[in-house]
Structures are given as structure tokens and as C-alpha cells.
Amino acid sequence: MEEISNLENTQPVCSICKTIVDAESIFCSSCGFPENGTDKDVAQFHAKNAMKKNQHMDADKKIKSARNTLYVMAGITIVFATITFFYKSRFSHINY
């Protein structure tokens, strides 16, 4: 009985996503982490992940800046439209 529970406890688990990794397989089937791989494999995994993250952040930044540009442009348009409106209505009150 105790042996079985011990076996369950020592089952290799992915250190990233906690998915059970087969003793024969090097990489985690869920996230691709080289649980049974060499230090080099681990380093490559982290390097890949870091690159993915950076690319994702760049895309987010681009979307944000594009959105901000749109807001700024809309804001400027509204401000100018308001100024033009008041300017025109001010002068239209002057009747000769």
C-alpha cells in the first residue's frame, strides 16, 4: 500500500505547468518544458519563452499606441470642432 502511494508521489511532474510527464519522454506534453532534458534544453526553453513574451509585449504596445493615436486624433477633432462651432456662433450673433 505504502509503495503505491510512494510511486504516485515520485511521478515526475512538469515544473512549469504541473502536468505529469512520462519518465521516457524528455519534453512535457502540455507546455513543452524539457523536464527530463539537459540544462541546455531548459535554457533553450526559457530563451524561446522569453522571445515569445517579448513579441507579445511588442504587439500589445503597438496596439495600445495605435489606439492612443486614434484617441488623440479624435480628441483634437472634437476640440477643433467645438472651437469652430463657438467661433462661428459668436460671430453669427453680430448682426449689422
Contacts with Zn ion by CB under 5 A lie at 14, 16-17, 19, 28, 30-31, 33
Could you tell me the smallest distance in angstroms from the CB atom of residue 11 to Zn ion? 14
Closer CB to Zn ion, residue 16 or residue 42?
16
Among 44, 17, 39, 43, which Cα is nearest to 28's? 17
Nearest CB to Zn ion, comparing residues 25 and 65 = 25
Q: Considering the complex, what minimum distance in angstroms separates the CB of residue 20 from Zn ion? A: 10
Check if the beta carbon of residue 47 is closer than 8 Å to that of residue 37. Answer: no
**Please, which residue, 29 or 69, has the CB nearer to Zn ion?**
29
Residue 81: C-alpha distances to residues 66, 87, 92 (Å): 22, 10, 16
Shortest distance (Å) from residue 21 CB to Zn ion: 7
Q: What is the DSSP letter of 89?
A: H
